[in-house]
Amino acid sequence: MDNIKLYEIAPAYIEYLAPHAPHLFRNKQAGQHNERKYIGVVLTVNDMNYFAPLSSFKEKHHRMQEGLDFIKIKNYAVINLNNMFPVPAGQYNYVDISKERNPKYKSLLLAEYRYIKSIQEKIRKNAAVLYRLKVKGPASPLTKRCNDFASLEVLCKQY
């Protein structure tokens, strides 16, 4: 499988899914300088590619423990696998870090990406286990904070 890469997801697709996915992160919020980046492909299931959001590292993340659905990218960012979702072809674009104009942001993206590549097998393994637990396992506090992957797949196919 190819290396995990950084992507941007079409805002119209995010807005389409948002009413059906309370855990979905928007691409850009007020006061946010850059569009949200996603890592992908973290999982391919039912011929659909799944992407997971990257979030900026916040003070609260220092106290949080990594888990199946939550992975720290050092002190740069976090990956919320519970918020992963399928994206149809044509609704995501590869982020070419070399074209980033802001040197500070470019440096951050490069650092994040280097670390993500080094742990990509862990990311994919966690994504696969989490998917199975949500779709086939009993309800639990972990699965309750996950997107409803099965319903998002239906929506993805209909888009």
Give the number of residues written for the chain. 159
Q: In this prediction, what percent of the chain has a pLDDT beyond 70? A: 96
Q: Where are the alpha helices (DSSP H) in 95-145?
A: 103-118, 120-136, 141-144
- Nearest-CA neighbor of 42 among 123, 147, 146? 123
Q: How much is the pLDDT for 29?
A: 60
Q: Give residue 113's identity as a one-letter amino acid code.
A: Y
pLDDT at 32 over 60: no
Residue in the structure block whose two tokens are 């119209």: 12
Query: pLDDT tens digit string along 113-141?
Result: 999 999 999 999 999 999 999 999 899 99
pLDDT bracket for residue 2 (50, 70, 90)? confident
- CA dihedral of 122, 133, 23, 140, whole degrees rounded to 10: -120
Question: What's the average model confidence in pLDDT over 32-57?
Answer: 89
Domain total of the chain: 1
- Nearest-CA neighbor of 158 among 7, 13, 10? 13
Q: How much is the pLDDT for 35?
A: 82
Residue 137 belongs to what domain range?
Answer: 5-158
Residue in the structure block whose two tokens are 């044509």: 90
Q: How much is the pLDDT for 34?
A: 76
Phi, psi of 43, rounded to the nearest 5 degrees: -165, 140
pLDDT at 59 over 70: yes
- Nearest-CA neighbor of 67 among 148, 4, 145? 145
Residue 49, beta-bridge partner list:
44, 87
pLDDT at 91 over 90: yes
pLDDT at 78 over 70: yes
Q: Supply the CATH number for residue 103's domain.
A: 3.10.129.130
Give Cβ neighbours of residue 126 (< 8 Å, ≥ 6 apart).
68, 69, 71, 81
pTM of the model: 0.92
CB 132 within 8 A of CB 44: no
Cis amide bond preceding 129, omega within 30: no
